[in-house]
Amino acid sequence: MKRFTLVLVLAFAFLPAAAFAQTAPASAQDPKTTQAASAQNPKTTQAYSMLIQHKVKVQAELESLLNEYGSDWPKSKRLQFELDTLKSEMKKMADIEESKVIKLTPGYGSLVLRRISLATDVHMLLEEESSEWPPLKDKQRELELLDKEIQKVMR
């Protein structure tokens, strides 16, 4: 019984010291500090990562279609336009002002991906239909409104 009591006393005496020794430094625990360190480079943000993931997916699909059907295949044309638009958006994001890098959140990445999708839809519809076709006008209006919202986010 004395041993058990001694073990308990020692455990309680050293437990706080052991727990304190295993905690991370304050800078590693503070998400603002971590976020500020990664905020220096837009390419390390979650928004940019989302664009990279989508680019890889589109590029793989495009390469497969190009090998099988060629560049004149409608789906190949669509994917090529989407890939070009995606690269353009990635370049814009990579060149953003340092003070605005903190705004490159997953939500912003989702808005940009939606913008790319709408721009691709509009481009493909313009090739197929007249500019007065109602579904095309709807997509164009949605794209305009989304562009305005993206600009508001980045102010």
According to the model, what pLDDT value does residue 141 have? 97
According to the model, what pLDDT value does residue 9 have? 44
Question: What is the separation of C-alpha 155 from the centre of its chain, rounded to a whole number of angstroms?
Answer: 19
The beta strand positions in 9-142, using DSSP E, are none
Neighbours of 32 (CB within 10 A): 10
According to the model, what pLDDT value does residue 23 have? 44
Helix, strand, coil percent content, the chain, rounded in steps of 5: 85, 0, 15
CA distances from 147 to 13, 20, 69, 86, 100 (A): 61, 49, 34, 15, 17
DSSP state of 1: -
Q: What angle do CA 53, 83, 120 make, to 5 degrees?
A: 110
Model pTM score:
0.74
Per residue of the chain (155 residues), what is the pLDDT tens digit? 445 444 444 444 444 444 444 444 444 455 554 455 444 899 999 999 999 999 999 999 999 999 999 999 999 999 999 999 999 999 999 999 999 999 999 999 999 999 999 999 999 999 988 788 899 999 999 999 999 999 999 99
Asked if 155 contacts 113 with a C-beta cutoff of 8 angstroms, the reply is: no
